[in-house]
Amino acid sequence: MKLAAIDIGSNAARLLISEATESNGKVEFNKLNLVRVPLRLGFDVFEKKEISPDKTSMILNTIKAYKSLLDAYEVKYCKAAATSAMRDAANSSDIIDQVKRETGIEIEIISGGEEASLIYENHIAENMDKEHAYLYIDVGGGSTELTFFAQTKLIFKESFNIGTIRLLKKQVDEGHWEEMKNFIKEKTRPYVDQIVAIGSGGNINKIFSMSKKKDGKPLPFELLKDYYKEFSSFSLEERIKLYKLREDRADVIVPALQIYINVMRWANAPEIFVPKIGLADGLIQHLYQELKEVHKTTNINQP
């Protein structure tokens, strides 16, 4: 079964197409294609509180292109979700209506809590040992989602309006940081010295690939601090040239590292695993479960 997910974030929009196959009660998702378009909606929204006509046109063109790919891959089932920037934009409902009219694709604006839950649905930590507590950290352009569980039990899921683009726009003050710090310290205190971080998002994936670490190996907290100091010492243009980064990655990678470092420090997490998961992966798994439930109900109701 071919499934697709569209994730419209504050920095970029992603289309993930996967094939789900079930064997012996276990499902595997094989990635067929992943397309990323740097819409950068947060640069409009977090300053002007709405999405400009130019950005609206970009959204429409992007979703139309995605629709063509869905048709080419013969994908029947797709789930589309928008996060922080679209949550905050005054004209988001008009744009969603226009996208639905012109492409047939319905975009759902999800809350920060729903975003955290969908990322958690990847269940990466469930395959790890039960002696540790696991803190998912998903850093986006507009918000950071934290999901924490210990002994296989979900302890909390929380979203904070601290994101890379908000930091670049100087829209995160000490109060925001203090709120996040106090929350993390209070909620994770009973699990001190047990916490392992799990990172998702394009920036931590990029850091992991630059580190040359083998898949499955964690990044030490001190290494993230070293990268932060190193990247911060160069201008945007120098980062693009020296590290061969796209501009839309080179500007957000420094504030992203700042967020990961702060969260890990406050949770006393000495390392972070980077399994290359994200909201799109969670959307596809959620869609698969929805379809499975519908199929089960249909079979039960048949005479």
Q: What residue segments make up the domains of the chain, in order of their start?
A: 2-112+281-301, 127-277
CATH of 2-112+281-301, one of 3.30.420.40, 3.30.70.20, 3.30.1330.120, 3.40.50.300: 3.30.420.40
Asked if 2-112+281-301 and 127-277 have one fold, the answer is yes
- Taking residues 84-95, report their average pLDDT: 96
**Does the pLDDT at position 246 exceed 90?**
yes
| DSSP state letter for 106 | P
* pLDDT tens digits, 126-147: 566 778 899 999 999 999 999 9
Burial class (CB in 10 A: 0-12, 13-18, 19+), 117: middle
Q: At 290, is the secondary structure helix, strand, or coil?
A: helix
| DSSP state letter for 217 | P
**Does the pLDDT at position 299 exceed 70?**
no
pLDDT at site 301: 43
DSSP for 16-80, written as a single string: EEEEEEEETTEEEEEEEEEEEE---THHHHHHHSS--HHHHHHHHHHHHHHHHHHHHTT--EEEE
* pLDDT tens digits, 184-228: 999 999 998 899 999 998 999 999 999 999 988 999 999 999 999
pLDDT at site 128: 64
pLDDT at site 77: 96
Helix axis angle, 174-188 to 253-267, nearest 10°: 40
Beta strand 195-200 with 13-23: parallel, antiparallel or unpaired?
A: unpaired
> Which secondary structure element, helix H or strand E, spans residue 253, and what is its range?
helix 253-267
Q: At 92, is the secondary structure helix, strand, or coil?
A: helix
Q: What CATH homologous superfamily does 127-277 map to? A: Exopolyphosphatase. Domain 2 (3.30.420.150)
* pLDDT tens digits, 30-50: 999 999 999 999 999 999 999
pTM listed for this prediction: 0.88
